[in-house]
Amino acid sequence: MSITVHHLNNSRSQRVLWLLEELELPYTITRYQRDPKTMLAPAALKKVHPLGKSPVVVDEEANLTVAETAVIVEYLIDLAGGRMGPPDDPAEALRYRYWMHYAEGSLMPPLLLKLAMRRVPIMGRLAVRKVQPMIEVHLDFVEATLSRQEWFSGEQIGGADVMMSFPLEAACSRAGLDGSRPATMEWLDRIHARPAYKAALAQGGPYAYA
């Protein structure tokens, strides 16, 4: 097995490194740094994938380039024989898949919108006031869920938790997630305490959200 992670600092690719450590799959890292002024990925990433985004995983043995974090997560779980994948119970498996896709499909868009609007003078600040209530609805939804269950993936940690890590870390950094939502903060503490998570930080380098 020969997996290469094209890893951009302070990006979604950090959770791919975490998953690889949890699954104990061997991998190497090709590193990229954001432009310090624009915070955009370097043009070199377009040589790996046309969109020039991270993460991208290259499985050299299979001659495959895999993009989109959720697809990468599913691909790596399959390589590991299904470890950290969906539960066997169909209803639980459906809930697992919901959180897998909710992370990027529902939670990340308002977080990104807030980040973008904060950079726009005057009108941006007005827009942020309208976006934050949308984010609060999502954070309340997440808090209610984690008040009932320990993991998004069900009884055990899994791929859905990996997917949810980046948006909730971002929300803690810049969108008002704090101790007023204790179940969510406890979930973040649990993932950050995991040996595999710490190993991924050591491999990936400085990461602003942990």
Cα 173 from Cα 193, distance rounded (Å): 18
Of the candidate ranges 61-65, 125-129, 151-155, the one whose mean pLDDT is the lowest: 125-129
Q: Is 194 left (phi over 0), alpha (psi -120 to 50) or beta?
A: beta
Give the E-state strand segments of the chain in sequence order.
3-8, 27-32, 56-59, 64-67
Can you give the residue ranges of every domain in the chain?
Answer: 3-83+196-204, 90-194
Token look-up 């990340």 returns 108
Cα 15 from Cα 38, distance rounded (Å): 23
The average pLDDT across 139-146 equals: 98
Q: What is the pTM of this model?
A: 0.93
Model confidence at 127, pLDDT cuts 50, 70, 90, reads confident
Strands 3-8 and 64-67: unpaired
Q: What is the CATH number of domain 90-194?
A: 1.20.1050.10
Q: What is the CATH number of domain 3-83+196-204?
A: 3.40.30.10
Residue 124 has pLDDT above 70, yes or no: no
- 59 Cβ contact list (under 8 Å, min separation 6): 1, 2, 3, 65, 66, 75, 79
Half-sphere exposure of 165 (CA within 13 A, CB side): 31
